[in-house]
Every structure is written in C-alpha cells, then in structure tokens.
A and B are shown apart, each in its own frame.
Chain A
Amino acid sequence: DTGVSQDPRHKITKRGQNVTFRCDPISEHNRLYWYRQTLGQGPEFLTYFQNEAQLEKSRLLSDRFSAERPKGSFSTLEIQRTEQGDSAMYLCASSLAGGRSYEQYFGPGTRLTVT
C-alpha cells in the first residue's frame, strides 16, 4: 500500500454513459497525476495538478475527459459519453514538488471496461 487510494477499483459501464473516478493522494503531496494504461503498454500521461491548479493536460485527452482537484486534496477524473476505446486502467499518482526526487507514488488503479 503506497498511501494513494483510488475508487472504484473496477467499473463496467455501457458505451455512452458517463463515469467518474476518485483519487486520494498522500496527504502532504502537492502534485497529483492521472495516467491511462492499456494492456502491454506503459502508463500514458493524461494530466497533472499542483495543488488545485491543473498545470498540464495531454493533447491525447479529448474533450470528453475532465479532471478536477478542487481543494488541492483528492481529485476526480470524469469521462463523458464513454467509448469502447476508453477501456483501460486509470492510474493516479502523487508526489512532492520541489524536491530532487522524481518519485511518484501510484495508486492501485481503476480498471474501466466499456461494453
């Protein structure tokens, strides 16, 4: 257990439905990241926050995806009008900015299946 939690762990939804995932980072960490990972591939960066500010968003992220971190603590990732291509593991990570370490602590992930 890294101290980063994600909920739910698994989500099955029908194409066209909206889904929302939650991530609770390590409490003192000011950075929070979202990644997507499909089978056989490495994690793909989606977006990251420093405190409540969303500082970077991947160009691969379509307008159907939105992420928030309203109080600089937990974060949510919403996917609207899900498509079968959205099926993947969604990973959240947190870290402490400003140090010399590139160490990110990952949660267990949320596995999304779109039918």
Chain B
Amino acid sequence: LAKTTQPISMDSYEGQEVNITCSHNNIATNDYITWYQQFPSQGPRFIIQGYKTKVTNEVASLFIPADRKSSTLSLPRVSLSDTAVYYCLVGDTNAGKSTFGDGTTLTVKP
C-alpha cells in the first residue's frame, strides 16, 4: 500500500474554501485515492474517491494531477460542523487491507 503524507493540522474560518493536500509518491497503477472524515467518538465516513483528474460530489471535490503523486481534497465554504479529522488513503479497491495515516485535523473557527 502506498504511503501517504498529510499536514497534521489546518485552521480555517467559516465560509472559506479549504484545500487539504496528500502526497503519495509511490502510488501504483491500480490504486485509487479515497478520503474519509471522522468526528470524535464516531467511525470514519467516506467522502470521495478518485483515480485521476477531478471528481466532484455534493460535499467535496478531489483534484488529482496527471502524475497522481499527490491529491487535494477541496471543501467549499466550510462550516463549524466540518471540524473533523480527514484521512487520505491510497490503494487497490480490491485489496482488503486499508492503511489510515494519522490524518489532518481541520479546525473551523467562527
């Protein structure tokens, strides 16, 4: 499984766009990039997944450059309720084992 590197923490203010970047230099051809969100005392929750270019859903966008060695999770107009830990995972979708790093703690301030 490809190793990922994310910032330990980020601060933002309500209404701003937040971009969290994940580095994964050793990504393999079959690997997808997946992001999870976790609130305290809850299990992680799937946010978005992509393979290349850009993916957008109702909560976030995922930008993946052509070399796929990094990815950026973009959260538009964050609110206080977006304060959480965000994890970037890289792996084959058929693989069983998932490796979560320590994630990025996002704190949204009023």
A residues lining the B interface (CB < 8 Å):
2, 4, 31, 33, 35, 40-45, 48, 50, 55-56, 58, 89, 91, 93, 97-109, 111
Contacts and interface: CB of A to CB of B under 8 A. Distances in A.
**Residue among A41, A100, A102 facing the most chain B CB atoms (10 A cut-off):** A102
Contact of A102 (B32, B41, B85): B32
Contact of A42 (B32, B91, B102): B102
Contact of A48 (B45, B49, B89, B96): B96
Given A2-B45, A102-B49, A44 B93 contact: no
A109 B103 contact: no
Contact of A107 (B43, B85, B93, B94): B43
B93 A42 contact: no
A13 B95 CA distance: 34
A38 B89 CA distance: 18
B46 interface: yes
17 contacts: A4-B43, A31-B96, A42-B100, A45-B97, A48-B96, A56-B96, A89-B41, A97-B94, A101-B93, A102-B34, A102-B49, A102-B91, A103-B49, A104-B98, A106-B42, A108-B43, A109-B43
Interface string B17-48: 00000000000000010100000011111100
Given A42-B101, A42-B102, A101 B94 contact: no
B49 A101 contact: yes
B87 A42 contact: yes
Given A102-B91, A102-B93, A45 B98 contact: yes
Interface in B58-110: 85, 87, 89, 91, 93-94, 96-103
A101 B32 CA distance: 9
Contact of B97 (A40, A56, A91, A106): A56
A27 to B, nearest CB: 18
A12 to B, nearest CB: 16
B99 A45 contact: yes
Contacts of A50: 96
